[in-house]
Each structure stands twice: as structure tokens, then as C-alpha cells.
Structure 1
């Protein structure tokens, strides 16, 4: 399953980069995130609860950052296990570009799913992925809009 998109974030690129590397802020933005803890540089463990159609599951897994070009891009790789619900794994290349006083964030993701989650159907999964991405970026914009601008300090 492949997905991509672009979103305009109402904050300077340096602020967006910092946010995308802040586990506390990311946990607040990821729908269903129950835990996101750093385990080392560019490495995290996470627990996320999801509901796709009639299927509800809690996935636990790991995330790593690779191919980091600070403050422009990185590749996020992850995998998670959801018990009888199945598994997820994938990666996403995230790039940031200045867009006036804001930042243009582009992403391209590829993933695999297995188990009961795979039986839900492509159309429902695609809708879930789009909805989740939109919620994440909406929350990220709201979080960054509520942060003080530290660039002038």
C-alpha cells in the first residue's frame, strides 16, 4: 500500500523539524497514540490504538529515523504487532521546504499489513490512512500555533 501527500504547516521549517523530532509533541498529534518514548538517537517505541471499521486493535512497535538530512528530510521506518489483529510495517520519506513563513511538508509512504487488518479491505484502509494523516497534520498545526515563537529569542 502506497500513500503520499503534502501539507502546509504554519510554522518555520526549524520549528517543524524540532516538532517532528519531539516524542512528547508527536504523541499528542498521532491519533490513538498511547505511548511514544525515545530509546536512543532516532529510535522510539510506540503503542497506538486504532479502529478500522469493526476492527479495534492496539499495536506496539518500533520506529527509527534513517537518512537524516537536518533540517530538511528523514526516512521514518516502523513496524508494529497487534496480536490477532495482525502486523504493520512500512516507511515514509518526509521532506521539508520553506514556504514563506510556513513550511511545506511532503511525504511518501509505503506499507505492508497482515492478519485480520489485511482482511478489512483496501478502500476502507485507504480512507482510514487519509483520515489519520489529516488528523495528525491538523493537530500538528494546532500544537505549533500554540507554541511560543522561540526563533526571536
Structure 2
């Protein structure tokens, strides 16, 4: 499996580099990550849960940073065991370039191998899951380093849930709110009706 992506982050190269080496930011950004703890020089023990198609597993692994060229690039070498689900291992080269004064272009190229049940479900599902996890990581990472913190991710999830619920709630909400002067958007009304159900 190979993945190559480019992202633009709204912060300086130095700040991006510092964030990529901050275990708290990484833990909050990696989907399903339970912990990242230092495990030697430039090495980390990682515990995370992931779903790949029908296979769900809790992985315990190790991540080692090599070929470090601060604040421009490093290579991540990783391996993880998911018990009966199988294993994953590989490496990713991460490169940073300034994009103007206050933005950074992050590029990565990753190669990975999986075994056990993960290998049996097919490369298409594995690739799709890997791209989804990577995309979610950079969305969360951008929210963390952009100053919104973890709340940005939560509010995004809540908003999408509200949007999904909105079509079913629009009529009942308007009926329940006859005093509205019409200035309040329907989405807000639907959100209130949706949250009041809990």
C-alpha cells in the first residue's frame, strides 16, 4: 500500500514542526489513538483502535523517527500488532516547506504492509481506510494547531449530526416555535429540537 498526499496548514513551518513532535497534539489528532508515550530517543509507544472494513482491532505498536532534518523533514518507521486482526508496518517520509509567511505545505509519502485478517479483506478496503484515517488526522491536526483546539473536531461532529437530523425536525420545530420572528435560521431551530431529545 502506498499513500502520497499534500496538505497546506495555516501556521508557520517552525510551529508545524513543533506540533508534529508534540505527543499531546498527535494523540488528539490520530483517530482512535488512546496513548502515545516516549519509548527511548525519538521513539514512541502507541496504542490505538481502528476499523478496516469488517475488522476492528486495538493495535499496540511503536513509532520511530529517523533521518531527522529539523524543521524540514523526518521519516516515521512504524509497526503495530492487532492480535487476531493481524499487523501493520511501514514508513512515511514527511516533508515541510514554507508556503508564504504564515502557512506550511506538508507532504508525505507512506508505504505500509499488513498481514493476518487485514491482508485477507483486500487492498482496496485497506487503502480506503488508510486514506480516511489520514484525512481525519490532518483535519484534527489543523484544528489543534490552528488554535481551535479539540473543540473544533467535536463541534464539527455535532454540526454534521444536526444537519443529518435537520430534515426530520424542520416541521415539528417550526410548530413548536410559533413565536419566532423568522430571523433565526432553520438549522438553528433544528439543532435545538435535536438536542432537546437527549
TM over 0.5: yes
Give the corresponding residue for 1:142.
Answer: 143
Give 5+ residue unaligned stretches, structure 1: 149-153
Q: Distance in 1 between matches of 2:95 and 2:128?
A: 23
Give the corresponding residue for 2:21.
Answer: 21
Q: Distance in 2 between matches of 1:54 and 1:111?
A: 20
TM-score (norm 1): 0.94
Runs of 4+ in 1 over 6 A off after TM superposition: none
Give the corresponding residue for 1:99.
Answer: 99
Give the corresponding residue for 1:52.
Answer: 52
Residue 41 of structure 1 and its aligned partner are, at CA, apart by 2.5
Query: Highest Rg: 1 or 2?
Result: 2
Q: Distance in 2 between matches of 1:19 and 1:40?
A: 19
**CA RMSD of the aligned region, Å?**
1.2
Residue 121 of structure 1 and its aligned partner are, at CA, apart by 1.0
Give the corresponding residue for 2:173.
Answer: none
Give 5+ residue unaligned stretches, structure 2: 150-198
Residue 138 of structure 1 and its aligned partner are, at CA, apart by 0.5
Deviations along 1:71-118, one digit per CA (max 9) or x if unpaired, are 000000010111000110000000000001110000001011000011
Q: Distance in 2 between matches of 1:21 and 1:123?
A: 31
Number of aligned residue pairs: give it. 148
Larger mean CA deviation between 51-60 and 65-74 belongs to 51-60
Using CA pairs below 8 Å that are at least 6 residues apart, which structure has the higher relative contact order? 1
Is the partner of 1:40 in helix, strand or coil?
coil
